[in-house]
Structure 1
Amino acid sequence: MTGPSAPSSHLRVTADAYDAVAVRYAEFVRDEPALPLDRAVLAAFAELVRTTGPGPVAELGCGPGRMTAHLRGLGLDVFGVDLSPVMIDLARATYPDLRFDVGSMDALDLADGKLQGVVSWYSVIHAPPQDVPSYFAEFRRVLAPDGHLLVAFFESEGEPVTAFDHKVATAYRWPIDDLAGLAGEVGFLEVGRMLREPREGERFRRGHLLMRMGE
């Protein structure tokens, strides 16, 4: 079992950045998931989790809790984890009937095989590319043998992994095949993928990978 550890420098920078903008960020994501395609991939994930049996689901990088609450509305036993203590305080105040914990998705304070599902909704985007395989390995560690993973991210549209000036902290756009390949290397099998073009006010294509635990 991997327990909490001292955060690396990029984790401290990311947590501090989100602490500083937490209230504004909560207002920005208040209406998510806004688009039918986003809701559809979340609904597909929830249906797959429900059909594999009861068990908790973690939204990792939950921010102010809006997506955690949406997943609860889809019938999941869900809780949220985030690096930012201020975000967690906001989530607890807004959704007092849901569980929210401060923690890092690369070192979760959870037993092996504890979860039926993991959602990383635009949260691995801040991880340096060389660290992403360890995040996927941690997701695999905490998932049950029939568990599912949903990852949402900014897609690179034919370019290699590319850093960009995210409004909160440095983030990375990924080729969807590369990200799927990294997940496959630690034992995930792809169930499906969804790409959508940016809506008005968005800069980049969005990628979504739905995966299950391999043998």
Structure 2
Amino acid sequence: MTDVLHDTRAAYDSVAPLYAEKFSDILETLPLERAMLAAFAELVRAADAGPVADLGCGPGHQTAHLHSLGLSAFGIDLSPEMIALARQAQPHLRFDVGTMSALDLADASLGGILASYSVIHTPPPELPAVFGEFHRVLAPGGHLLLGFFAGPDPEPERFDHKVTAAYRWSPDSLMNLLRRAGFAEVARMLREPHENERQFQGGQLLVRKP
């Protein structure tokens, strides 16, 4: 395990209960994110290409939301403490400890991937390999919904996230990496930060594996 993975896991393990308490109902305050999730779910259901993995699922609140939208969804997270909380909160759903860079999933086995702000801690040189892994496990016609902090600069910008170091990306730069990994753009969304959020735009990229 790289130092970044080790540090990220340790950081999220240490804040897991507080994180779960703070973010378990966050979707209720994010109508645009809910709209993107609804569109993602509709596309995944129509393609009928397999289940959906919520990668970096944390305490499982978005996995549960995907389930409520009619998807066969399960969660994977680097943090064992987060997975323990997810299993406690959503005992009817599957949650596994794992890494996005080496998924224990068969080729073309998923109909969809949700990665909601879960690649923000990945060092930029390592992100193409993560997107390649996403492409490997998605079936043709499968969709990926990627959430991220957006910035204006073409180069990724490192910042001090409240949990551990993170990066924000311009949507175009991030989309270029996704295209190189074999994805086609379906839609994108940018929104301004809410009052209690860090003063960065929130971004969503919805892409498809042809």
Do the two structures share a fold, i.e. TM-score over 0.5? Answer: yes
Instruction: Note the C-alpha offset of 1:32.
Output: 2.2
Per-residue CA shift, 1:55-78, capped at 9, x if unaligned? 210000000000100111111000
Partner of 1:204: 200
> C-alpha separation between the residues in 2 aligned to 1:41 and 1:23?
27
**How do 1:75-114 residues align onto structure 2 when only pairs under 5 Å count?**
75-114=70-109
Q: Which runs of 5+ in 2 are unaligned?
A: none
2:209 paired with 1:213: yes
Equivalence for 1:48: 43
Q: Distance in 2 between matches of 1:127 and 1:54?
A: 28
Which amino acid letter does the alignment assign opposite residue 2 of structure 2? S
Superposed structure 1 runs of 4+ greater than 2 Å apart: 157-160
* Map of 2:164 onto structure 1: 169
Pairing 1:154–2:149 present: yes
Which deviates more from structure 2 when the two are superposed, residues 20-29 or residues 49-58? 49-58
Would you say the 8 A contact 1:157–1:205 is kept in 2? no
Q: Does residue 71 of structure 1 match 2:66?
A: yes
May I ask how many residue pairs the two structures share in their alignment? 208
Q: Determine the C-alpha separation between the residues in 2 that align with 1:91 and 1:185.
A: 33
Task: Output the CA distance in 1 between the equivalents of 2:101 and 2:112.
Answer: 16
User: Equivalent residue for 1:28?
Assistant: 22
Task: Read off the aligned partner of 1:17 and give its amino acid letter.
Answer: A
| Percentage of identical aligned residues | 58
| Maintained 8 Å contact 2:49/2:141 | no
Q: What are the ranges of 5 or more consecutive residues in structure 1 without an aligned counterpart?
A: 1-6
TM-score (norm 1): 0.95
Cα deviation digits, residues 153-182 of structure 1 (max 9, x gap): 000134631011100010000010000000
Match of 2:26, SS? Answer: coil
Structure 1 position 59 matched with structure 2 position 89 = no
Matches within 5 A, 1:183-194: 183-194=178-189
Give the stretch that moved more between structures: 152-161 or 42-51: 152-161
TM-fit CA distance, 1:93: 0.5
Q: State whether residues 127 and 171 of structure 1, in contact with CA within 8 Å, keep that contact through their aligned partners in structure 2.
A: yes
1:8 CA displacement: 1.1
2:122 to 117, 120, 127: 127
CA contact (8 A) 2:153 2:169 kept: no
The one-letter code of the counterpart of 1:138 is: E
Amino acid aligned to 2:162: K
Q: What is the 5 A alignment of 1:1-12? A: 7-12=1-6
RMSD of aligned Cα (Å): 0.9
- Which deviations, in whole Å up to 9, do the C-alpha atoms of 1:130-157 show, x marking residues without a partner? 1110110000000001100000000013
List per-residue Cα deviations over 1:61-117 (Å, max 9, x = no partner): 000000100111111000000000000000000100000000001100000000000
Selected match of 1:145 from 140, 143, 152: 140
- Give the TM-score taking structure 2 as reference length: 0.97
Amino acid aligned to 1:72 = H
Q: Does 1:180 align with 2:175?
A: yes
Between 1:191-200 and 1:27-36, the stretch displaced more is 27-36
Query: Could you tell me how far 1:194 is from its partner in structure 2?
Result: 0.3
